[in-house]
Homo-oligomer: A and B are copies of this chain.
Amino acid sequence: MSLTLADAIERHILAQLAVAGEIALQRVELARQYGCAPSQINYVLATRFTPERGFLTESRRGGGGYIRVRRAAQPELGRIAAALRAQPDGIAQAPAHALIARCRDAGLLTGREAAMLQALTRREAIGLPLPARDVVRARCLVAALLALSDER
């Protein structure tokens, strides 16, 4: 269980977010705490706190600069399915999995349901060449999410 620096910083930020819902951090200061290059903070934000994963960040440079991080509002399943269906090129694996994870975190999907959907939207599961794969992935996902929005 090797905890990388990026993992540690991610936890740090997540812990702060759990308390406050919206936080402002100072890049150099955080980098100093972890003894790393300031750009490492950008790396963590870029790979873990993306819009796809349900986070929004904004920042300001110059004197008194900051980076603000907050959770994005989550739309409901039906709207998600509709938005997905509007994509003519389908959806790639990474954004699809991020989308599923967000739905799970928002309580729209159970852990089992999310695991199932992520498994069957993997490249190897669909097993078609691009671009057909992304299209089929999107269609299956839409069908699944719509089925759930009827159920319950």
Residues of A that sit less than 8 Å from B by CB: 1-4, 7, 24, 26, 63-64, 66, 110-113, 115-120, 122, 124-128, 132, 135-136, 139-144, 146-148, 150-152
Q: Are B115 and A147 in contact (CB under 8 A)?
A: yes
Contact of A112 among B1, B2, B146, B151 (CB under 8 A): B151
Complex CA–CA separation, A64 to B111 (angstroms): 26
Chain A interface, DSSP helix/strand/loop, else mixed: helix
Q: Are A140 and B115 in contact (CB under 8 A)?
A: no
Q: Are A147 and B119 in contact (CB under 8 A)?
A: yes
- Residue among A111, A136, A150 having the largest count of chain B Cβ atoms under 10 Å: A136
**In this complex, what residue of B is CB-closest to A147?**
B119
Q: Are A3 and B64 in contact (CB under 8 A)?
A: yes
Contact of A120 among B24, B122, B147 (CB under 8 A): B147
Q: Are B115 and A143 in contact (CB under 8 A)?
A: no
Cβ of A66: which chain B residues have Cβ within 8 Å of it? 1-2
Q: Are B119 and A116 in contact (CB under 8 A)?
A: no
Cβ of A146: which chain B residues have Cβ within 8 Å of it? 119
Query: Can you name 18 extra interface pairs (CB under 8 A) apart from A2-B66, A116-B116, A126-B139?
Result: A2-B64, A4-B63, A4-B64, A111-B151, A115-B150, A116-B144, A116-B147, A117-B144, A119-B147, A120-B120, A120-B143, A120-B144, A120-B147, A122-B143, A124-B143, A127-B136, A127-B139, A140-B140
Which 6 pairs across A and B sit closest by C-beta, in order of nearness?
A119-B147, A125-B143, A4-B64, A120-B140, A119-B143, A120-B143
